[in-house]
A and B are shown apart, each in its own frame.
Chain A
Amino acid sequence: MSRKNKNHIKKSPFDIAFIIVNTIVLTLFCVVTLYPILNTLAISFNEAVDTLTGGIRLLPRKWTLQNYKTVFNMKSLVRGAYISVLRTVIGTFLQTFVTAMLAYILSRKEFYFNKQVSLIYVLTMYVNAGIIPTLLLYQKLHLTNNFWVYIIPGLVSAFNMIVIRTFMNGLPDSFVESAQVDGAGHIRIFLRIILPLCKPVLATVALFVAVGQWNSWFDAMIYNAQREDLTTLQYELMKLLSAINQQSGDPNAIKHASSMVTPESVRAAATMVTAFPIVCLYPFLQRYFVTGLTIGGVKE
């Protein structure tokens, strides 16, 4: 297909067959990946009663916004969305900043303890005390039933620290040295010189953190179970899904049935609402995470 190939050697029939098979396989892959998502999207826009007759594929038969109206009228989901946005914004900012600060300290080659401190943080990737000891610790620290349990425990991530540190190590030393000659302290150097230079890698890490924050539900379930006002969108979605699956007497589910909305449709709409921010933002941010992974030393 490309000019370069044509110049060299004629394509053999076997090559053409291979290209065709390859195209088919990859197309199939894309279909398999996208179909379930698009199908859920179609169901979420289709009239609930009509959906029950089956046969909805990629496009809704009877358009309606009723499912979404129902979802946006559910107080718990709206509250969860508010907390999710809040934790994503605060968490992304704080965690990226703090991790970058540690990465800066550990990227200073003259620092006597950078090896030891790195080692301690790398150990955290492997040593995990388990859910119950962690829960009890958070209780002692009064972090349970508290918004900050979403932010503080993940404040420093060893993996992200390594990603940022690797990037910082690639920066020329002369920046820092000349600033030090001018009498700037480390905090000033970090804020004024290093942070602006690290924008690409910080964007990558921020993306990782943001996706993690948006998607997390486990902390809401375990640590903040008693605080209805601190629930997150994902956790609310999970509760909604499991309540519907068990066909239990969930008051919400019954209410929907009476107002021309079925649990299945609501489920689809809620799923799409939860996935929406990521599906929308992600194509624009794609280049960041690929660079980030490449920097991160996961690859050679």
Chain B
Amino acid sequence: MNKRKPYYIIIAALCFATIISFFLPYLHLPKQNDVEGDGYKIDTAMAALNSNIIKKVAKESGIPKNIVYNTAKNIINGKDRQTIESRLKENEYYIIDILTEKMNEKVAELDEWGSLEKRTYSYFDMIDLSASVIKYLERDIVSAFLVILTLIMTVVLSYISGFVMLFRKKLTSYKVVKILSLINIFMSFVGILSINAIGIGALQVDKFYKENFGIGFLVIAAMNFVILLIAVIGNLHESWAGIVTFKMIMRQKQLMLMTLPFIVYVVVFYFGPLTGWIMAFQNHKPAAGANQMFVAWDKFIYLLTEKDFLLAFRNTLAMSLINLVFSFIFAIGFALLLNEVVNVKGKKLVQTVSYLPHFLSWIIVAAIVKNVLAVDGGILNELLVNWGFIDAPINFFADGKYFWWIVGLAVVWKETGWNSIIYLASITSINPDLYEAASIDGAGRFKKMIHITLPGIKATIFVLLIINLGMVMNSGFEAQLQLKNDLIKNTAEVIDTYVLNKSFFQGADFSIGTAAGIFKSVISILLVSIANRTAKAFDQERLY
């Protein structure tokens, strides 16, 4: 216990620092040039443009949102009526009046609400501000609520974790602190993003939030991260009952030096790209450089309401479930049957043949699949017609209903042999006495296969099933990318190909692509960790 005392001191100090950072906004006060005295001006016109007027008008009139938005923008910019009308159809002119009236109302309302008069804002003021945003702008409601929530939660959580560390003297594990810190970091992150959205989207006080609240939150997030790090390290050290001292490091300096490039490498190449996730919260324009516009959760909300994405989500799940079921049934069946082959040479031959497709790239496999399924001359169509199952050849790539099964069977063709390796290895570890005993009892080959071999690999099957269920978001994309065409887009698109389409092929919206990627990653990380935990609970070793 004594040896871990330094952690208590550090963590306690950090908790106090967190509390101090609560007052950080008071300490850092930039001056805005175009405002007299203290305070910050709201660009009321911009705020009105960003409020929910556009949405309402668009809904009532049935005119697309972007047209209404552009009209409103022209009104604000003071364009003359002819120019504005030229962008509209004749029966749409009436919205100009409606928009002008409503915008003026909103601007007046906002003027009354006033500019942000004080120059110092505590977190409580920010909560107040967020509440005002909800009240007056009716736009960034989600963001504003999140700000209030996170502001309160970060502070409360910091206090709790601090007190836990300070007063639970016989702390045996850092688990509580770890969990609290994790929630806290998450909250801080949500808070930063939401404040960004309010700052730029509605109030146009980006400079202000950047230099105050942004830093305040970042400090809290950073400190919580440090707390978490220390808690994790402390946890890992529990088994060593001590801290690694400088002297010990020097003793292994050659190994340490050898490790250093690997650490740098993994941080740059694997964790470095994670910083790019910020793009999902921006309206990313490559030309804008470092000054991107924050839109908070807009891109995610867009994704979850867009038909294409939801279809891609459905297809991802459907195809990976089909692949999962197919590959399990075929691989297990193949392994069982192969195990019954007594002729060693024949067994080897079948194995060699069955692994081969695994080493061919999806490009080649896709070409082969297209060849087999071709309308004229495809072997499958020919066989089906000859045997009288169908009257005329089917064009398998013209109707979306076949696509999932095509991919599923292509995966079966490519991977069955490869997937069976693990089951074959598992079968060899079954006790041979069992077969002997069953033979004496008069069991035939088939019965032995069903009653001994299959139960013998039950554990392996189960663990693999759980782990594969965890990977259900990763349906793969190479097969889909090679095999899909525009006719069957609705069933062929998966999240990965959706990302590629949005960012490279049919547009250059990096933000949407990144947001979809995050959506997928977060769900799949959750699933994988749940699956691994479950598999571990069944007392089987995992990969790590």
Contact = CB atoms under 8 A, between A and B. Distances in A.
A69 to B, nearest CB: 20
List the 6 closest A-B pairs by CB distance, nearest first. Answer: A133-B276, A130-B517, A129-B273, A215-B361, A133-B273, A124-B270
Interface of A: 1-2, 5, 8-9, 12, 14-15, 18-19, 22-23, 25-26, 29-30, 32-37, 39-40, 54, 101-102, 105, 108, 110-113, 115-134, 136-137, 141, 152-153, 155-156, 159, 162, 185-187, 211, 214-218, 222, 234, 237-238, 241, 245, 267-268, 271, 274-275, 278-279, 282-283, 286, 289-290, 293-294, 297-300
Contacts, number: 232
B362 to A, nearest CB: 8
B514 A132 contact: yes
B254 interface: yes
Interface stretch (B22-30, B146-154, B315-323, B337-345): B337-345
B499 interface: yes
Given A137-B272, A186-B254, A29 B334 contact: yes
Nearest to B347: A26
16 contacts: A29-B334, A34-B353, A40-B368, A54-B376, A111-B252, A120-B263, A124-B270, A128-B521, A129-B517, A130-B518, A130-B520, A136-B273, A215-B359, A237-B367, A282-B359, A299-B425
Nearest to A245: B370
Contacts of B341: 22-23, 26
Contacts of A115: 236
Most-contacted residue by chain A among B277, B364, B413, B460 (CB, 10 A): B364
B543 interface: yes
B478 A33 contact: no
Contacts of B349: 30
Contacts of B266: 120-121, 124, 156
A65 to B, nearest CB: 20
Nearest to A211: B359
Nearest to A9: B439
B445 A15 contact: yes
A130 B273 contact: yes
B255 interface: yes
A240 to B, nearest CB: 10
Interface string B365-398: 0111111100011010000000000000000000
A173 to B, nearest CB: 15
A22 B269 contact: no
A131 B265 contact: no
A274 B367 CA distance: 12
A131 B259 CA distance: 27
Contact of A132 (B367, B421, B513): B513
Interface in B322-348: 334, 337-338, 340-343
Given A130-B513, A267-B367, A299-B425, A32 B413 contact: yes
Given A40-B371, A127-B525, A300-B426, A108 B274 contact: no
Contacts of B350: 26, 29-30
A149 to B, nearest CB: 11
Contacts of B275: 133
Contacts of A134: 273, 276
Given A131-B513, A271-B368, A299-B426, A112 B543 contact: no
Interface string B262-284: 11011011111111110100000
Contact of B371 (A8, A33, A39, A162): A39
B13 interface: no
B274 A110 contact: no
Contacts of B361: 214-217, 234, 274
Interface residues of B, number: 91
Given A2-B342, A137-B273, A300-B426, A22 B337 contact: yes
B407 interface: no
Contacts of A37: 356-357, 368
A178 B168 CA distance: 48
Interface of B: 233, 236, 244, 248-249, 252, 254-256, 258-259, 262-263, 265-266, 268-277, 279, 334, 337-338, 340-343, 349-350, 352-357, 359-364, 366-372, 376-377, 379, 413, 416-417, 421-422, 425-426, 429, 439, 442, 444-446, 460, 478, 482, 499-500, 503-504, 510, 513-514, 517-518, 520-521, 525, 528-529, 540-541, 543-544
A118 B482 CA distance: 36
Contacts of B353: 30, 33-34
A217 B363 contact: yes
A5 B376 contact: no
A283 B352 contact: yes
A118 B517 contact: no
Contacts of A118: 544
A153 B517 contact: no
Given A5-B342, A40-B367, 11 more contacts: A14-B444, A22-B340, A26-B350, A105-B262, A129-B274, A156-B266, A186-B255, A211-B359, A217-B361, A279-B356, A299-B425
B444 A162 contact: no
Most-contacted residue by chain B among A131, A215, A286 (CB, 10 A): A131
Contacts of B371: 36, 39-40, 268
B503 A132 contact: yes
Contacts of B354: 29-30, 33
B377 A126 contact: no
A187 B258 contact: yes
Given A33-B354, A297-B543, A237 B429 contact: no
Contacts of A126: 525, 528-529
A137 B276 contact: yes
A159 B416 CA distance: 21
A111 B271 CA distance: 24
A214 B273 CA distance: 25
A35 B444 contact: no
Contacts of A35: 379
Contacts of B367: 40, 237, 241, 267, 271
A112 B249 CA distance: 8
B212 to A, nearest CB: 28
Contacts of A152: 269
A2 B379 CA distance: 38
Contact of A238 (B254, B338, B363): B363
B255 A111 contact: yes
A8 B439 contact: yes
B337 A26 contact: yes
B277 A133 contact: yes
B360 A275 contact: yes
Nearest to A101: B258
Contact of A54 (B271, B377, B500): B377
A222 B460 CA distance: 38
A124 B271 CA distance: 8
Contacts of B520: 130
A238 B483 CA distance: 11
Nearest to B262: A102
A19 B448 CA distance: 13
